[in-house]
Amino acid sequence: MQRANDIPVVLILSSWGSGSSAVAGYLDKCGGYTCPPHLRTVDEKTPNAFEPEELRDALVACIDEYSLQAKGSAENFVRFFAPWITEQQRLATEAGCKVVVLKHALLVFVLPAILRMANCRVIVSTRALESIENTRKRRNWHPTLGRSGAQVIYTTASEYLRENGVSHLTVAFEEFRTDPRIREMTTAFCGLSPSPEQLRDADDWLR
């Protein structure tokens, strides 16, 4: 039996409005543990952000989500994350899940710390900047939650992953949504082996 601390952590690096909630939700339906309770939204198209509430609170205490600048102690985040992820791995084990899935736009700014504390598999979930900006406008969000923030987030992710030789999978959301081969590649990368029933439910949910 796999020990809790051995369970891999899948990090979904993405911007707001990139379709990453759908990617995280799909992995949840395929057997990933997404650490509920999740942040709920007022957007009827995406009522569940699949972002752990506790993780989000710790991230926004450390990084301002509108300026994308540090505002709190990084050490406070480390003190939160180390025991929290251990507990989530334990809960995942109890639920019979093989991986923990974490998703939030601010994860990229604490990526070095998380990679030191957990066995991670990194997914970069991308979407065309124009589509991200259109989503921001539809939701009437702050400008940073659209194109401008996405440019910072993806540049930060790309530079860190490249400079530190971190293996990762880049998934374009529109291809993920429309091409079952991309979804199969993504679940395999995560170490998930969904049952035929889970796969049908996940595909139906994604549509």
**Residues recorded for the chain:** 207
**Encoded tokens for 184:** 């199969």
Distance CA 149, CA 151 (A): 5
Cis? peptide before 37, omega within 30° of 0: yes
pLDDT score, position 45: 78
Domains of the chain: 4-206 (3.40.50.300)
Mapping DSSP to helix (H, G, I), strand (E, B) and coil, where does residue 132 land?
Answer: helix
User: Residue 39: pLDDT band by 50, 70, 90 thresholds?
Assistant: very high
Q: Give the DSSP H or E segment for 182.
A: helix 180-190
Please write the tens of the pLDDT for every residue from 173-197: 999 999 999 999 999 999 999 999 9
- Give 52-99 pLDDT, tens digit per residue: 999 999 999 999 999 999 998 889 999 999 999 999 999 999 999 999
Beta carbons of 33 and 99 less than 8 angstroms apart: yes
The answer to whether the Cα torsion of 129, 131, 137, 142 is positive or negative is negative
Contact call for residues 126 and 35 (beta carbons, < 8 A): no
